[in-house]
Amino acid sequence: MKVSKETAIAELKKIVGEDRVITDPEVLKNADVLNRSYAKAFGVYATPPALCVVNAKDTEEVSKVLSYCNDQLISVIPRTGASGGEALLETVNDTTVFLDGSLMNGILKIDEDNMMVTARCGTPLRVIEETVNSKGYTTGHAPQSLPMADIGGLVATRSIGQFSTYYGGIEDLICGMEGVLPNGHIFRIRNVPRRSSGPDLRHILMGSEGGLGFITEVTMKLFPYHPEDRWYGGYKMKNMHEGFKALRAIITAGYKPSVVRLYDKTDMDYNFGSVQMEDEEAFMFFVCEGPAGVVKATGDAIHEIALAHGGNYIGTEAVKHWMIHRNDLCNSYSGDQRYVKFRETQTMYSTTEISASWTDIVKIYDDVIANVPQKCEHLVMLGGHVSHSYINGTNIYFVYRIKMPNPEEADAIHTQVVHAICEEVLKYETGGCVHHHGMGKRRVQMAPKEHGTSYELMKIMKKAYDPNGIMNPGVLVMQEEK
Ligand SMILES: Cc1cc2nc3c(=O)[nH]c(=O)nc-3n(C[C@H](O)[C@H](O)[C@H](O)COP(=O)(O)OP(=O)(O)OC[C@H]3O[C@@H](n4cnc5c(N)ncnc54)[C@H](O)[C@@H]3O)c2cc1C
């Protein structure tokens, strides 16, 4: 940083106005509210406090703030809903500005002729979805964090929703966007249906984790919304292996249910508890949506394939229970409920999402369940579920609980578990250790192995778009390699 902290704050106040530069220490301590939350519950704040939070109200302000910070070598962490994990929002120095886009909130246009909705970066996805639902449409994007996340952050983390097997991840749902580069340059990627020239520019800020620029506006696709025509089906499977086989058979035959999930007993018991299962059993379930004829054909085929793979049909009740309660976890993030629970149980819950081919995923599931507890003595629960499937493979959300010896060590112990899972995944040719939460600073050490020889492309990209390294330092590429 070239100027003093006082000068930087004064200059930022000149750009956006006195009231939108926040320096209150309590606000700064919690600018990254969800990360290291176990330690925070005990009053331990280990990351450097930010310089300030700047609440931008429009694209021009974002441009001016970025341009100033770029010139003065001030770190900037873009933020919208603040629901990102993986240490995405953690500061690495005390001269960091949180550039918050929450005030850039609102739907700009719903284009029913061309099935598109345009919203500013700080618009909660819940608002977008409920607004278009009322007109008979859906964005098709339904991450569990729907009640918490905004569209800017969802694009920046390349997020994925619970209905992804039918609609796709956010990369399949974005038409165009407006954004700002660290030097203040404002750009717009127009909403053309397809373009064949060069790499897809939408993908530069998609998944960029705030490390390359700032997304100010997003246009998403719309789909017809027919919740009344949905098909539900739930099956107990002999074990996870049989579940994987059945899922593979359904997806590779070309069927596209919207929800495709397979839970082991540990995960099901902890998160939903709505199905009685024996130790080895798995619970596999589906939701189909779309035009009624497609729904029926898809549901019928799934049922036939599931039974042929030994599935024990248990009806729709547990699936509907999941549909109702699928986002309840978000409620536990409001107020200080989580902190109270941490203090009472001295245990934290977390997840690590990975993906692999149909062949490798089975081995990865077995390896993680067998090996990770041996490497991580503080682990007290480890299970997992499948939630997003593709023609060439699927994902697993590993879920776990860690008994913490003390708050000071909590972050290191959590990271140890995450890395242990990632190491098991990266032993396999098709194993990917970052399915949809972003790598953040927690997993960036895995980036060279995750990307292999293409890691060089990431480093070049970071240097090209953010030559001064001001944007969310520590994501995408390891700091010493930027
Ligand atoms: C209970 C829970 C459930 C979750 N479920 C899912 C799920 O089902 N699917 C899923 O994909 N994720 C899920 N997540 C993760 C998280 O919600 C997503 O990563 C989400 O995309 C973050 O959006 P946000 O607006 O909260 O972004 P933030 O947390 O504010 O930011 C996330 C990242 O994006 C960057 N960023 C934010 N805004 C911008 C911007 N305008 N321009 C450029 N960069 C920006 C930040 O710098 C940061 O690196 C879950 C999280 C929680 C807590």
User: For the chain, how far is it from start to end, CA to CA, in angstroms?
Assistant: 17
- State which of 159, 332, 386, 465 you would mutate to test the pocket of ligand 1, scoring each by most atoms of that ligand within 8 A of its C-beta: 159
Measured between alpha carbons, how far is 325 from 274 in angstroms, rounded to an integer? 10
Q: Whose CA is nearest to atom 4 of ligand 1?
A: 145
* ∠ Cα 230 324 155 (to 5°): 80
User: Does position 336 have pLDDT exceeding 90, yes or no?
Assistant: no
Using one digit for the tens of pLDDT, what is the confidence trace for 422-449? 999 999 999 999 999 999 999 999 999 9
What's the half-sphere exposure (Cβ side, CA atoms, 13 Å) at 84? 35
Q: How many Cβ atoms are within 10 Å of 67's Cβ, its own excluded?
A: 17
Contact present, 89 and 55 (Cβ < 8 Å): no
Per-residue pLDDT, 47? 94
Ligand 1 proximity of 96 Cβ (cutoff 6 Å): no
Length of the chain (residues): 482
Please state, in angstroms and rounded to a whole number, the distance separating the CA atoms of residues 255 and 347.
40
Cβ neighbours of residue 462 under 8 Å, at least 6 residues apart?
A: 211, 212, 469, 476, 477, 482
Q: How confident is the model at residue 479 (pLDDT cuts 50, 70, 90)?
A: confident
Residue 245 has which token pair?
């086989």
Average pLDDT, integer, range 52-65: 98
pLDDT at residue 482, rounded to an integer: 44
Q: What is the rounded average pLDDT for all residues in the chain?
A: 96
Tell me the whole-structure pTM to 2 decimals.
Answer: 0.96
* Averaged pLDDT, 60-66: 98
**Which ranges constitute the DSSP H helices of 314-355?**
317-325, 337-345
Q: How confident is the model at residue 334 (pLDDT cuts 50, 70, 90)?
A: confident
Rounded (10°) angle between helices 5-16 and 59-72 = 160
Q: Which residues contact 51 (CB under 8 A, 6 or more apart)?
A: 5, 8, 9, 23, 28, 74, 94, 95, 96, 97
The 10s digit of each residue's pLDDT in 2-45 is 999 999 999 999 999 999 999 999 999 999 988 899 999 999 99
| CA-closest residue to ligand 1 atom 35 | 210
SS3 398: strand
CA–CA distance, 475 with 31 (Å, rounded to integer): 17
Q: In what order do the strands lie in the sheet with 52-55?
A: 21-22, 52-55, 96-100, 75-79
Q: Sort residue 395 into left (φ over 0), alpha (ψ -120 to 50) or beta.
A: beta
Q: Relative to the CA of 205, which ligand 1 atom is closest?
A: 43
Beta strands in 9-143, from DSSP E residues, in sequence order: 21-22, 52-55, 75-79, 96-100, 107-111, 116-120, 137-138
Atom 20, ligand 1: which residue's CA is nearest? 154
